Chain A
Amino acid sequence: MPVALSNLLYVARDAMNVNAKALDVTGQNIANVNTPGYARRRAEIQARGSTQDSYGGVTIGGIHRAADQLTQRRLLDVRGQETAAQERGDSLAPIEAAFNDANGTGLAMGMTQFFDAFNALAAKPTDTTARAGVLTAAQSLVDGFQMATETLNTTRADLLAKAQGYTKQINENAKAIAELNGSIQSALSAGQDASDLLDRRDQLLEGMSELIDVQVATNPNGTLMVRASGQSLVEGQSASTLSVDLDAAGSLLFKNSVAGSTPSAFNASAMGGHLGGLREARDVDMAATRQALDTLAGDLANAVNTLHASGFGSDGVTGRNLFSFDASVGAKSLAVDPLLAGHPERVATSSTTTTGGNTIARQLANLQSTKSAAGGTKTLIDSYADLVGDLGLRRQKALGDADVKGALADQVQALQEETTGVSLDEEMVNLTRFQRAYEASSKLLKTFDELLQTVINTK
Chain B
Amino acid sequence: MRISDSSRMDRLVSTTMELDKKIATVSQRASSGIALDVPSTDPVNAAAYLRSRGNVQRLEGYGDAIRDARGELELAETSFSQAQDIIARTREIALSAANSTYSAQDRSQFAAEIGQLREQLIAAANQRGPNGYLFGGSETETPPFTTAGVFQGNSEARSLEVNPSMTVTINGSGAKAFTSAGGEDVFALLDSLRVAVSTNSSQDITDLGKRLADAHAQVGIARGDVGYEMQRVDMADAAQANLKVLWEKRQGEASEIDPAKVYSQLSALQNTLQQSVAAARTQLQTLSLNRFG
Contacts and interface: CB of A to CB of B under 8 A. Distances in A.
B36 A356 contact: no
A355 B140 contact: yes
A125 interface: yes
A357 B156 contact: yes
Contacts of B54: 108, 111-112, 368, 379, 381, 385
A122 B160 contact: yes
B36 A102 contact: yes
Given A352-B156, A424-B287, A417 B58 contact: no
Given A102-B49, A357-B156, A423-B2, A393 B43 contact: yes
Nearest to B141: A355
A291 to B, nearest CB: 17
Interface string A398-437: 0100000000001001100111111111101000000000
A33 interface: yes
A92 B41 CA distance: 13
A382 B49 CA distance: 11
B281 interface: no
Contact of B64 (A89, A123, A388): A123
A219 interface: no
Query: Size class of A's contact patch?
Result: 35 or more
A97 interface: yes
Nearest to A113: B57
Interface residues of B, number: 59
A358 B164 contact: no
Contacts of A362: 159-161, 167
A281 to B, nearest CB: 12
A28 B278 CA distance: 32
B159 A426 contact: no
Interface stretch (B131-139, B187-195, B225-233): B131-139
Nearest to B164: A369
Contacts of A123: 64-65, 68-69, 131, 160
A100 B139 contact: no
B290 interface: yes
Contact of A126 (B38, B43, B61, B131): B131
A34 B6 contact: yes
Contacts of B141: 126, 355-356
A101 B41 CA distance: 13
Most B CB atoms within 10 A — which of A356, A366, A395?
A356
A386 B48 CA distance: 9
A184 to B, nearest CB: 24
Interface of B: 1-7, 9-11, 14, 34, 36-44, 46-51, 53-54, 57-58, 60-62, 64-65, 68-69, 130-132, 136-141, 154, 156, 158-161, 164, 167, 255, 287, 290-291
